[in-house]
């Protein structure tokens, strides 16, 4: 399914006005907000967090969910090969800039990702460019004067998810004391991935044993 980015419906739904950022003064310091997490054990309602982030940064919660879906499939424990972390796949430098102290905390990740996407939207003025900047960095969007060719699939996929209708993120369990998070809600992706990884490890061990019994993985 493809979404026409210049259709009337798309403009009405997905082009957001430039708004003043929330007052991150002493009373509402963003880093302090990030540190006040209630996600210490138990189930965390991701949909509620996306709603709160959307209200705070004047963004569609469904847009945020679409980004999270393609970035991590709502898995808070994911780390990419490049080092991006958590549900919104925030890079270490960006996390520091945003005041995110624990990128694996679902609340911090979603709120931080929403703030960054809002900044990119205000900077570039349209959703597609903002998504490309979120994915590849604002410098690439400036360089290509829009969506870089290598970001087109990413942007189109996010827009496709939005066009499919309301997205349900589900629940995750998170333990802030040990800094671990585990998906337990809307998708079986995490279980399937773990099983696939386990099978792969076993295959590697068996193959290695044939060649070198002393090699340890």
Catalytic positions, written as ranges: 71
The HSE-up count of residue 125 (CA atoms within 13 Å, CB side) is 3
196 φ, ψ to 5°?
A: -65, -40
> How many angstroms separate the Cα of 119 from the Cα of each of 84, 101, 112, 123?
19, 19, 11, 6
Contact call for residues 51 and 61 (beta carbons, < 8 A): yes
> How many angstroms separate the Cα of 42 from the Cα of each of 45, 84, 103, 203?
10, 25, 18, 35
Radius of gyration, alpha carbons of the chain: 19
Beta bridge pairs of residue 174: 181
Contact call for residues 180 and 104 (beta carbons, < 8 A): yes
Q: Name the residue among 18, 114, 2, 9 with its Cα closest to residue 60.
A: 114
- Strand, helix or coil for residue 75: coil
């Amino acid at each position: 399914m493809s979404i026409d980015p210049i259709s009337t419906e798309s403009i009405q739904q997905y082009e957001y006005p430039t708004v003043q950022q929330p007052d991150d003064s002493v009373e509402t310091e963003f880093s302090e907000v990030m540190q006040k997490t209630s996600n210490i054990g138990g189930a965390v309602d991701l949909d509620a967090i996306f709603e709160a982030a959307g209200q705070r940064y004047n963004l569609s919660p469904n847009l945020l969910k679409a980004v999270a879906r393609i970035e991590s499939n709502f898995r808070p424990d994911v780390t990419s090969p490049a080092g991006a972390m958590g549900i919104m796949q925030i890079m270490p430098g960006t996390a520091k800039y945003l005041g995110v102290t624990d990128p694996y905390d679902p609340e911090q990740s979603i709120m931080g990702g929403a703030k960054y996407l809002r900044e990119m939207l205000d900077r570039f003025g349209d959703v597609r460019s903002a998504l490309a900047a979120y994915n590849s960095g604002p410098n690439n969007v400036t360089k290509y004067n829009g969506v870089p060719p290598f970001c087109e699939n990413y942007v189109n996929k996010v827009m496709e998810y939005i066009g499919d209708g309301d997205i349900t993120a589900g629940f995750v369990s998170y333990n802030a004391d040990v800094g671990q998070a585990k998906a337990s809600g809307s998708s079986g992706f995490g279980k399937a991935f773990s099983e696939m990884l386990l099978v792969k490890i076993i295959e590697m061990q068996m193959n290695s044993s044939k060649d070198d019994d002393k090699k340890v993985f």
